[in-house]
Amino acid sequence: MNKKIYFVAPSFGVTTSPYKERFKESLKIFKKLGFEYQIGENVYMAKGVASSNTKELRAKEIMDAFNSDSDIIWSVGGGEVMVEILEYLDFTKLKNKTFIGFSDNTNLTYTLTTINDMETIYGVNAQGFCYLPLEYESLDTYRMINNEKIFKTYKEFILNDLDETPIHKYVCDNKAKIKAINYNEPVNGRIIGGCLDCLVTLCGTKYDNTINYINKHKDEGIIFFMEACDLNSISLKRALIQLKYAGWFDNVDMFIIGRSNNYFDKSFGLSMKDSYLSVLKDFNKPILLDASISHIGPSLPVKVGGYVTVTYNRNQIKFEYK
């Protein structure tokens, strides 16, 4: 493969068990897969408030990574306050690399796509490559880096978090039950989205270029995917209403909804599914609920900004990138 990775920690670093051990094992596997790599200065730090370092130094690490000779910029973890680094980034210089990250990394996977009109990967953080053979999200992220085109959602998932041992494997014993609404035929378009907790924070800020991006690509079609981490059903509904009022959904041709982290929450008697449908059904577009793009693993990587055909059949969603 001969591609070089620059590992960064724009949110959390890998400083506690089991994440530090998993990242150490992941580095061995990246070497076996033929990658060269460079480790950013914040990766093993926990000097910031709920973050690897100060917002200025985390932003500097991103700028250094994009200025390097690496092909891929890969985040080592999610977290809480990555959004605060955005004001220290020069987006005009954040180009010609592939950025990969999950959860809080929506703050870059989404903004790089909508501001710079480039493709990113909303996929497993680097410490998730800690075992061989690669399975589920790690294997598909590897396949996506290698420009393979067809990906399918997983038919099983776990409801409990991963075990806290240094090296783990998913044990999936729950059957996924995707709910399709208004779906009649495959839908084509540019796919954008990410973690809803982050998206609603970006909405209305100077880093929100969503409407301009959608208007540029609406003739190709727009597919919007979302999944939630900390939101309960009521805060989820408020977030969706905000994005609706901001016009984010006006030209969307399909919604793909991942299983929410608070899967069984029913605040005020409202389920997570009910919250999504109460807002999105008004657009009368196809909705695919409970997809395996989620904090409940394993989570299928998404090529944000990629042109894709989405097909639903027999409780599975197929993504075919062009």
Q: What one-character-per-residue DSSP string does 137-166 give?
A: HHHHHHHHHTT--EEE--SEE-SSPPP-SS
The residues near 123 (Cβ < 8 Å, ≥ 6 apart) are 100, 101, 102, 137, 140, 141, 144, 299, 301, 302
Q: Considering the domain delimited by 4-148, tell me its CATH architecture.
A: 3-Layer(aba) Sandwich (3.40)
Express the helix, strand and coil content of the chain in percent, nearest 5 each: 35, 25, 45
Ordered by start, the domain boundaries in the chain are 4-148, 156-321
Helix ranges restricted to H, the chain: 19-32, 55-66, 106-116, 136-145, 196-202, 210-217, 233-245, 272-280
Q: Are 61 and 10 in contact (CB under 8 A)?
A: yes
pLDDT tens-place values along the chain, 322 residues long: 579 999 999 999 999 998 999 999 999 999 999 999 999 999 999 999 999 999 999 999 999 999 999 999 999 999 999 999 999 999 999 999 999 999 999 999 999 999 999 999 999 999 999 988 998 999 999 999 999 999 999 998 886 655 667 776 777 878 889 999 999 999 999 999 999 999 999 999 999 999 999 999 999 999 999 999 999 999 999 999 999 999 999 999 999 999 988 888 999 999 999 999 999 999 999 999 999 999 998 999 999 999 999 999 999 999 999 9
CATH of domain 156-321: 3.50.30.60
Q: Which pLDDT score is estimated for 107?
A: 98
Residues in the chain: 322
* Helix, strand, or coil (residue 191): strand
Location of structure tokens 């061995």? 28
Give Cα 9 distance to the centre of its chain: 15
* Helix, strand, or coil (residue 269): helix
Q: Which pLDDT score is estimated for 175?
A: 87
The residues near 161 (Cβ < 8 Å, ≥ 6 apart) are none
Which residues share a beta bridge with 38?
6
Calculate helix-pair angle for 272-280, 233-245, nearest 10 degrees: 20
222 closest CA partner among 68, 113, 299: 113
